[in-house]
Amino acid sequence: MRLSRYFLPVLKENPSEAQIVSHRLMLRAGMIKQSAAGIYSWLPLGFKVLRKIEDIVHEEQARAGHIAIQMPTLQSADLWRESGRYDAYGEEMLRFQDRGGRDMLYTPTAEEMVTDIFRAHVSSYKDLPLTLYQIQWKFRDEIRPRFGVMRGREFYMKDGYNFDLTKEDALHAYNRHLVSYLRTYERMGLQAIPMRADSGPIGGDDTHEFLVLAETGESEVFYDSAVTDLSFGDRAIDYDDVAQCAGVLEEFTSKYARTDETHDPALFEAVPEERRRVARGIEVGQIFYFGTKYSEAMGAVVQGPDGKQVPVHMGSHGIGVSRLLGAIIEASHDDNGIIWPEGVTPFHVGIVNLKQGDDEADAACEKLYKSLEAAGLEPLYDDRKERAGGKFATMDLIGLPWRITVGPRGLKNGVVELTSRRTGESEEMSPKDAVARIIDIYAPHKSHTSEHWEPMARQSFHTWL
């Protein structure tokens, strides 16, 4: 993309309504525009990152054997009356009537809808296990929408639902989700710690929230600092292997880590004092096992191996896809702007032409741009007739992890400058070497760390459906 032809409405001033850094930077970098309280339009740069995050979620769900569907945002109240949640959900649910006077709602979550699909089409244990998921807009009429996309009223969520014959099988589905979430967040450059939590209106006893530590987080959290030493890394995992998934759960959840809702001061005391931490966190996901709560209420039964009809065991599993943009920025920024992890960056590399209009500089930039595109990468070329300082400030603000700077002086010596946004370190090299370095940074074989994770393929997320 050439910046002169892009739509990147960056703001010079700090927007006064933004209380936390991620909200401020998303507005300043022209990623979102508020249209009503807690409701946003996604502008090109924000939309691109949202799609990158969505891609990773789809890839990791596919890897775990989960199957994508799409359910409607507008749902009939009747389904929710069957589960008893139409009355129980309260004021967070947006309700309205269609022209025929039928009660409708905008989906805040989709346990009822997915259970209805299941009971219409599945009648035998032979079709189990089954996990269906979607990535879809949700609406919750939060009392205090705030912090931009962090607590929206309309927000984008991955919600998955497992159907299993036995509690044991459903707990394997729970563990499988926990493992796939660890991978998912690490690929986004995040450490999200699974913490024992409270189930709220979804119901059930077994639930973990995934929290990203950040001073601006809305949840108070209590944990053993040993949990922050854990990383999933690039370990091979067989999602059908019950013992392996249980082993990962044990590794990541056996140390003390709880939100304020489930905090137990007596148990916390047992953690060695120097490892006790009280901090704040952003909830970026939650997994639940709730047994037969919905299947019994809604008649989602299958014929078991013994011929008897039994209600299926279920759980639901959510990732706050739109909230993740805020969480990633809270975890990765500096005074000059955002620092995107490679896994989610909207463009792989920025090209800054220090002297637009200079024949040699223009030609060198064009060549870099075309070589990077030919390698399947997306460069953002700042080809505007602006002074260098302004160009650097924009690149720093929007946070591309790598920048190639091209100027007539360097070109005289046959070099351009490659700069890391994270460390600020620059290196001079030939344009050819700079291209090779960028290709190498994003190459599939660099799958060994969370920042250089191998995408399953370089296609769009539609591949995973």
Please state the closest distance from residue 431 (CB atom) to ligand 5CA, in A.
Answer: 42
Give whichever of 109 and 184 is closer to ligand 5CA, judged by the CB atom. Answer: 109
Please state the closest distance from residue 207 (CB atom) to ligand 5CA, in A.
Answer: 9
Cα distance between residue 342 and residue 16, in whole Å? 30
Give whichever of 28 and 140 is closer to ligand 5CA, judged by the CB atom. Answer: 140
Cα distance between residue 85 and residue 77, in whole Å? 9
Q: Are 56 and 184 in contact (CB under 8 A)?
A: yes
> What is the full DSSP assignment across 47-75?
HHHHHHHHHHHHHHHHHTT-EE----SEE
Give whichever of 202 and 393 is closer to ligand 5CA, judged by the CB atom. Answer: 202
What is the distance in angstroms between the CA of the first residue and the CA of the last residue of the chain?
27
* Residues forming a β-bridge with 353: 406
**Cα dist from 151 to 133, 146, 377, whole Å:** 22, 5, 33
Cα distance between residue 145 and residue 124, in whole Å? 43
Give whichever of 324 and 418 is closer to ligand 5CA, judged by the CB atom. Answer: 324
Cα distance between residue 347 and residue 362, in whole Å? 20
Please state the closest distance from residue 288 (CB atom) to ligand 5CA, in A.
Answer: 6
Give whichever of 320 and 431 is closer to ligand 5CA, judged by the CB atom. Answer: 320
Q: Are 400 and 345 in contact (CB under 8 A)?
A: yes
Give whichever of 86 and 347 is closer to ligand 5CA, judged by the CB atom. Answer: 86
Please state the closest distance from residue 9 (CB atom) to ligand 5CA, in A.
Answer: 23
Q: Are 381 and 365 in contact (CB under 8 A)?
A: yes
Note the Cα 77 to chain centre separation in Å.
Answer: 30
Please state the closest distance from residue 221 (CB atom) to ligand 5CA, in A.
Answer: 14
Please state the closest distance from residue 316 (CB atom) to ligand 5CA, in A.
Answer: 4
Note the Cα 360 to chain centre separation in Å.
Answer: 41
Give whichever of 283 and 382 is closer to ligand 5CA, judged by the CB atom. Answer: 283
Give whichever of 89 and 268 is closer to ligand 5CA, judged by the CB atom. Answer: 89
Cα distance between residue 302 and residue 123, in whole Å? 4
Buried b (16+ CB within 10 A) or exposed e, 425-454: eeeebebeebbeebbebbeeeeeeebbbbe
The token pair at 204 is: 């059930």
Give whichever of 109 and 175 is closer to ligand 5CA, judged by the CB atom. Answer: 109
Please state the closest distance from residue 152 (CB atom) to ligand 5CA, in A.
Answer: 4
CA-closest candidate to residue 429, choices 398, 440, 445: 440
Q: Are 288 and 203 in contact (CB under 8 A)?
A: yes
Residue nearest ligand 5CA, Cβ-based: 320
Phi, psi (degrees; rounded to nearest 5) at 341: -65, 150
The footprint of ligand 5CA (CB under 6 A) covers: 109, 140, 142, 151-152, 155, 157, 159, 202, 283-286, 316-318, 320, 322-323
Give whichever of 152 and 407 is closer to ligand 5CA, judged by the CB atom. Answer: 152
Please state the closest distance from residue 178 (CB atom) to ligand 5CA, in A.
Answer: 13
Please state the closest distance from residue 159 (CB atom) to ligand 5CA, in A.
Answer: 3
Please state the closest distance from residue 397 (CB atom) to ligand 5CA, in A.
Answer: 24
Residues, the chain, total?
465
CA-closest candidate to residue 359, choices 435, 323, 411, 400: 411
Which residue's entry shows tokens 């709560």?
293
